[in-house]
Amino acid sequence: MKQAILLGFLLGVCHGAANAASVVPNFTRGQVTSETTTRTEVTEIIHQIEYTTGTSYTVTGTNINIPENPGPGSNYTMITPGEPFQFSETYMGPGIATETKIERTTITDSFTTSLSVFTQ
């Protein structure tokens, strides 16, 4: 009989522990701080090539006799021999006219701090 009472008491205590009361926080206020650091790195490579498909011939000068239809191999003579003169002849055939290469890297660093304050 003593064992039955003891067993009943133990079962009652264990049964009561399963019905625990709800937990209520006992703080009144608090805060949370969050920090985020981000780094972004972008590398751009630009390679531009411009081509010509025809030909170009240019002649300029001072104190130079330039024929009506100048061309490579034309004969140019001075208007007044012995006087100062300037002469420029440019010929561009088909092919690459210009080539541009650009490589650049952009780095962006971002730092964010967030503060949350809460009360109950």
State CA 49 to chain mean position distance: 23
pLDDT of amino acid 8: 55
Q: What is the mean pLDDT of the chain?
A: 85
Residue 94 has pLDDT above 80, yes or no: yes
pLDDT on residue 36: 95
62 in Cβ contact with 78 (< 8 Å): no
Domain ranges of the chain: 28-52+95-120, 55-92
Q: What is the pLDDT of residue 72?
A: 82
Residue 78: beta bridge partners?
64
User: pLDDT-based confidence at 17, cuts 50/70/90?
Assistant: low
What's the mean pLDDT in 35-59? 94
Pair 120, 28: CB distance under 8 Å: yes
Please check the confidence at residue 6 and state whether its pLDDT lies above 90: no
